[in-house]
């Protein structure tokens, strides 16, 4: 019937979900119809996919870098000093690890504010991701340190002094004015040294017989996340990529 055919023709097209379908694995958000685009729900339309899939070869490369860092930097001595400041408290290793995690997050957050130049947009997002995704593990390690050890392992005076020393160790000469590429290298070195410290903490707790299943799972999760960070920072140090489609169109 003509009327029925006309009504069928006027049926609205189905709305496509930009977060599913063919491109969901490679695109976080795409350009949308401006009449239906909701930035509060969908976010900026030019952001890249945030998921990272690391191949086994990538993880091997990250672990090789951490191993080299362990051989050339004084992380083991620094870690022993930090643990000693807790004067024999049980699970003092977690207090030292907590300071390392907080110091690394502070370095990344500062780079988030400081970065500039042609790679500003991508770097700004990268560093924000690093410190924001660190926060949940900082909280979990702190709670584990208090629950399995002592509330003194998160003492603000001790933690602040340790974080200050670690940030200076990670950043080197704080009076210099690093380039945006140098920020990435500092963050990469920071993450490699953090993973070295994490490996040390894991080994110490295992040797003492204090590595419960819960603590083991927690430390493995921290290691997995920060290996991902090393991978991302390695890519940033090797290549310069702007994630803003507006700048690439120029």
Residue 25: how many other CB atoms lie within 10 Å? 9
| Assigned domain for 108 exists | yes
| Per-residue pLDDT, 216 | 97
| Per-residue pLDDT, 73 | 72
* Range with the poorest average pLDDT among 107-116, 184-193, 239-248: 239-248
* pTM for this model (two decimals): 0.72
SS3 (DSSP) at 59 = helix
| Assigned domain for 141 exists | yes
Whether the pLDDT of residue 58 is over 90: the answer is: no
| Per-residue pLDDT, 49 | 42
| Assigned domain for 180 exists | yes
| Assigned domain for 45 exists | no
* Range with the poorest average pLDDT among 2-6, 65-69, 225-229: 2-6
Tokens encoding 148? 């399995």
Cα–Cα distance measured from residue 219 to residue 207, given in angstroms and rounded to the nearest whole number: 15
The 10s digit of each residue's pLDDT in 16-42 is 444 444 433 333 333 444 455 555 554
* Range with the poorest average pLDDT among 106-110, 205-209, 230-234: 230-234
CATH of the domain at 180: 1.20.1260.10
Percent of the chain topping pLDDT 90: 53
| Assigned domain for 51 exists | no
| Assigned domain for 148 exists | yes
CA 92 to chain centre: 24
The 10s digit of each residue's pLDDT in 65-103 is 766 766 667 888 999 999 999 999 999 999 999 999 999
Cα–Cα distance measured from residue 93 to residue 126, given in angstroms and rounded to the nearest whole number: 29
| Assigned domain for 163 exists | yes
Answer yes or no: are the C-beta atoms of 138 and 105 closer than 8 Å.
yes
| Per-residue pLDDT, 46 | 42
Whether the pLDDT of residue 109 is over 90: the answer is: yes
| Per-residue pLDDT, 12 | 47
Nearest to 167 by CA among 94, 101, 104: 104
Tell me which of 240 and 190 has the higher pLDDT: 190
pLDDT band, very low/low/confident/very high, at 237 (cuts 50, 70, 90): confident
Number of folded domains in the chain?
Answer: 1
Which domain covers residue 228, as residue numbers? 56-244
The 10s digit of each residue's pLDDT in 159-184 is 999 999 999 988 877 667 888 988 99
User: CB within 8 A of 154, min separation 6: which ones?
Assistant: 95, 98, 142, 145, 146
Whether the pLDDT of residue 243 is over 70: the answer is: no
Tell me which of 135 and 175 has the higher pLDDT: 135
């Amino acid at each position: 019937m003509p009327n029925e055919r006309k009504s069928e023709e006027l049926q609205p097209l189905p709305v496509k979900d930009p977060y599913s379908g063919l491109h969901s694995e490679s695109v976080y958000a795409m350009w949308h119809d401006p009449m239906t685009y909701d930035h509060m729900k969908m976010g900026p339309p030019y952001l890249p996919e945030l998921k990272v899939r690391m191949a086994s070869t990538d993880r091997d490369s990250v672990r090789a870098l951490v191993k080299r860092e362990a051989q050339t930097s004084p992380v083991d001595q620094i870690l022993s000093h930090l643990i000693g400041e807790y004067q024999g408290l049980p699970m003092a290793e977690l207090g030292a690890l907590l300071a390392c995690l907080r110091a690394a997050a502070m370095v990344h957050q500062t780079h988030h504010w400081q970065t500039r130049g042609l790679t500003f947009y991508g770097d700004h997002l990268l560093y924000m991701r690093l410190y924001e995704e660190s926060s949940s593990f900082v909280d979990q390690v702190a709670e584990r340190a208090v629950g399995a050890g002592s509330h003194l392992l998160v003492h603000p005076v001790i933690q602040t002094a340790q974080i200050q020393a670690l940030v200076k160790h990670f950043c080197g000469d704080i009076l210099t004015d690093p380039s945006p590429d140098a920020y990435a290298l500092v963050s990469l070195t920071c993450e490699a040294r953090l993973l070295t410290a994490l490996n040390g903490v894991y080994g110490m707790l295992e040797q003492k017989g204090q590595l419960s299943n819960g603590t083991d799972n927690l430390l493995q999760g921290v290691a997995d996340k920060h290996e991902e960070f090393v991978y991302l920072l390695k890519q940033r140090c090797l290549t310069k990529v702007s994630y803003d489609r507006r700048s690439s169109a120029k």
